[in-house]
Chains A and B, each alone.
Chain A
Amino acid sequence: MADNGKRKTKLLDQLESGPWPSFVTEIKKASESSPVCDDLLGQLELSYEEKQGHWKHGGIVGVLGYGGGVIGRYSDVGDRFPNVAHFHTIRVNQPSGWFYSSEAIRTLCDIWERHGSGLTNMHGSTGDIIFLGTKTSELEPIFKELTEAGFDLGGSGSCMRTPSCCLGPARCEWACYDTMKLCYDVTMAYQDEMHRPPFPYKFKLKAAGCPNDCVASIARADLSIIGTWKDDIRQDDAAVAEYAAQGLDIRKDVCDRCPTRCMDWDGQKLTIANRECVRCMHCINVMPKALRPGVEKGATILIGSKAPIVQGALLSSVLVPFVPAEELLETLQELIKRLWEFWDENGKNRERIGELIQRVGMAGFLDAIGLDPVPEMISAPRDNPYIFFQAETEEK
C-alpha cells in the first residue's frame, strides 16, 4: 500500500504521463467516489505484471424480464481483489447521434455514482453508453432509476443490438435521409427483439447519411443503411470558379481522383457525366461549397457484414440499390420481417445472417425473401460455369 492507503501501481503509473488523456488517470479519478476502482487498478496492475487477463465468464446476470443489456463479468483473482470479484457491464441505449444535455449526463453520472464504479465508456463499439463494473444486487436499482430518468438498456447476446447512426441532418449537409429519426424509430419498433433475445445470433443495424459512412455501417452491421441520391450532383459554378481561383487544382485533385473519371475541367467549366458517377463523395468532400448531393435522396440498403467469428469476416453487399427517403422506414420494416423469418427458419446457432447467405447462396436467399435479382447487387456476373439450374427450368 502507498502512503495514501491506495494500492501501488508502478507499471500503470507510467501510463499517466504523455500528451494523450490517460485511462489510468480516469480510473484514479473515479476512485475518489468509488473504492472499487482501487481493486480494479490492483487487478489491472497484476495483468500488466503477468501479461495476462484475469476476467472470466460466469452465470448469466440481468434485470427481470430482460435477456440482454448486462454482461456478467467475474474476476479469477477475486480473493485478492474482492471489490471486483463481480464486475458486470451494463449497456445503456444511447440517444441518436450521441447527443446529450448536460443535465442528462449528470443524471447518468449520479445514478452510476450511487450504484457502480463510476467508470464508463462513452461509448462502446456498438454505440451504447457502457457502465463498467457493478454487482448483481445493484442491477435492479440501476434499472429502476435509469427508466425513471427516461433511459433503457441496450442489446446484448442473440438479439437485435442497439442501432446507431451518424448525426446526419443534425449537423451534416450531406445527409441524404434523416438518420437520427430512422435510428430512433427502428430502436422503438424493435424493443422486444432488443431486450428478449429471439435469434440464432446477434443482429446489428447502422444508419449512415451518405457514402462517407462515418459510422462504419458497411463493415459492422448486418443491415447497413447508407444514404445516397439518384439525380445529378448539385453544382454551383461560381463556387467552383472560386475554389479554382483559391488555388485548388481541379484537374489533379478532383477529376483525376474520380473513380469513374466522369468529370472534366477545361479550366473554366466543370462538367460531370452524372450517369457514370458512382456517388463516391470524393469531389463533394473536396469542394463542399460548390458541389452537393442531388435532391432525389434516399438510401442504399446493404446486408451481411460481420467480424471474423465464426466463419470469417464479410463486408455488407447491396440488397436494395435505392429506397426514397420517405419510404425508408416502411421498406426497412417489411424487409426486416422477411429477413428474420428466413433467418429463424434456416439459421444455425451462432450463424450471422451474412454467413447464412454465404451458405445457401445469394440467389436462394433472394427467392426466400421475395426480392428480384438486379445487377446493382454484384460487382460482376459469375466467372465460374458451375451453374445449378433449377428443377422447373430443366423440365421445360
Chain B
Amino acid sequence: MATQPTAKRITDIGPPNYEKFLHPVITKNYGQWKYHETLAPGVLCHVAESGDKIYTVRAGSPRLLSIQSLRLFADLADKYCGGHLRFTSRNNVEFMFDDVAKIEPLKRELQAAGFPVGGTNNSISNIVHTQGWVHCHSSATDASGLVKSVMDELCEYFTEQKLPAKLRIAVACCLNMCGAVHCSDIAILGIHRKPPKVNHAVLPKVCEVPTLIASCPTGAIRPATVEGKQSVEVIKEQCMYCGNCYTVCPAMPMNDPENDGISIWVGGKVSNARSVPKFTKLAIPFLPNNPPRWPEVVGAVVNIVNVYAQNAKKFERVGEWIERIGWPRFFELTGIPFTRYHIDDFKHAGLTYARSTHIRF
C-alpha cells in the first residue's frame, strides 16, 4: 500500500504543456502549414505558408523500449533536431529538423542502431499491439513475439512504399483487444477456445461469488455447490471465452496451451478516405500458437499481403479490394478454406448474410 504523503505532495497537475516541446520552426508555423511531400519512404517535408520547411524522419520501434534506447533517441534528437522528437500513433519515433542535409546522416545512424526508416504513405506501418505474455494475465498468445516475427518478413514493405495503398496491421492477444484490432487491414487476434477451469478448492477463499457471476457478459456462470462448498459452474454452451471472469477471480484460469491460438481478420479501416470506416472480418478462425516464430501465422499474413499486392488496384485498401472482387474470390485467391465459423451466429448475425442475388461467378 501507499506510504505516508510527504509535506508538499503535488497532484492533479496533468501532463506537461506540449508547447515547450515543439521545434521552433513548428512553433513559428503552428497551424500555418501549406502542403507536404514524401521525399523518400519515412522522410516527409512539410512546407508552411511562410515558406519555412520542416523535415521529418520516421523510424520503426518495437514499442517495448529500454531506457537505453530512449536515451539513444534523445542523443540523436540533440545531435540533429535541437533536442526535439516525438512518437506516432503507431509507436514509430519521429525526428524533426529544418536542415535538409541532415536527412541522410540521421537515417544512417538510425539504421545502424537497428531502427528501420519508413512507414509512410503506401507502406505497412508499425504493427499496433498489446502486452501478451510480457505483461498481461488474459493473453492467449504473445504480442511482441508475433509482431517481431511478422515484421521481420514484411520489413521491406515498411522501408518501401510499393503497395497499392496503406496497409495497417494490428495484434491483440485476447478478445479484449486493447489495441484497435477490429478496424485494421489485417488483424491478428489471440483466442481462447475452452471455458475457464474452475478451481473449486481455492475459489471460495479468493473470490467473491456474486461479483464473479456478474462479471460474465453472457451470464454463463451460475452458483453451484461442489463437495459441500459454495462455488460456481460454467454453462459451456454460453461461454465465448472472454476471460472477464478470470480478471475478477484468479480461480477461473483460461490459459490452455493446446487450445489457445490465433485467428486472422481482414478488411477493416479507420480513415474516412473514399469508403467509410469498416470492421475487420474473419479470414482464418484458428492457427496454432507456435512460438518463438509462429510460422503458420507469419505465412498466412504474408500470403494475404502478397495476394492483395498483386490484385488490388491503386488506392484500394484491403477491405475496398475485397468489396470489389467479393468474398468468394478472396477465399479463392488466398486459398484460405471457408468454414462454418465464418458465418456469424451471435446477435444481429443476419446483417452479414447475403440478402440479394448479387453473386459473382
Contacts and interface: CB of A to CB of B under 8 A. Distances in A.
Contacts of B35: 173, 288-289, 292
B11 A66 contact: yes
Contacts of A19: 116, 152, 155
A106 interface: yes
Interface of A: 11-12, 14-15, 17-27, 29-30, 32-33, 40, 44, 47-48, 50-58, 61-66, 73, 87, 89, 93-106, 108-109, 112-113, 118-123, 125, 132-133, 136-137, 139-140, 144, 147-148, 150-152, 164, 166-167, 169-173, 175, 178, 180, 184, 187-188, 191-192, 195, 211-216, 218-220, 226, 253, 257-259, 278-282, 285-286, 288-289, 292, 307-313, 315, 349-350
Interface string B38-76: 000000001000000010100011111111111101110
Contact of B56 (A14, A104, A140, A171): A171
A178 B96 CA distance: 20
B68 A30 contact: yes
Contact of A57 (B17, B86, B250, B260): B250
Given A30-B67, A178-B31, A192-B12, A102 B182 contact: no
B180 A216 contact: yes
Interface stretch (B140-148, B226-234, B302-310): B140-148
Query: Among the interface residues B34, B175, B183, B292, which one has the most CB atoms of the partner chain A within 10 A?
Result: B292
A48 B271 contact: no
Given A48-B145, A309-B176, 13 more contacts: A18-B148, A19-B116, A20-B151, A22-B148, A50-B257, A98-B88, A102-B78, A147-B10, A170-B22, A184-B18, A211-B273, A292-B34, A313-B182
A272 to B, nearest CB: 15
Contact of A15 (B83, B292, B347): B292
B14 interface: yes
Name the prevailing secondary structure of the B interface residues: loop
B13 interface: yes
Contacts of B260: 51-52
Contact of A101 (B36, B54, B83): B83
B270 A213 contact: yes
Interface of B: 1-3, 5-6, 9-18, 20-22, 26, 30-31, 33-37, 46, 54, 56, 60-71, 73-75, 77-78, 83-89, 91, 93, 96, 114-116, 128, 130, 132-139, 142, 144-145, 147-149, 151-152, 155, 158, 175-180, 182-183, 214-215, 217, 242, 244, 246-248, 250, 255-257, 260, 270-275, 277, 279, 289, 291-293, 314-315, 346-347
7 contacts: A18-B148, A21-B116, A48-B292, A53-B133, A120-B65, A122-B87, A132-B135
Contacts of A214: 89, 271
B66 A98 contact: no
Contacts of A56: 137, 250
Contacts of A150: 13, 16
B152 A18 contact: yes
Contacts of A132: 64, 134-135
A218 B270 contact: yes
Given A102-B78, A173-B36, A280 B274 contact: yes
A102 B69 CA distance: 12
Query: Among the interface residues B17, B139, B248, which one has the most CB atoms of the partner chain A within 10 A?
Result: B17
B21 A99 contact: yes
A67 B302 CA distance: 43
The 8 A-B residue pairs with the shortest CB-CB distance, nearest first, are: A18-B152, A169-B31, A102-B74, A211-B272, A30-B66, A20-B151, A173-B33, A147-B10
Contact of B67 (A99, A120, A226): A120
Given A99-B84, A102-B74, A178-B31, A20 B275 contact: no
Query: Among the interface residues A20, A73, A118, A173, which one has the most CB atoms of the partner chain B within 10 A?
Result: A20
A309 B242 contact: yes
A14 B292 contact: yes
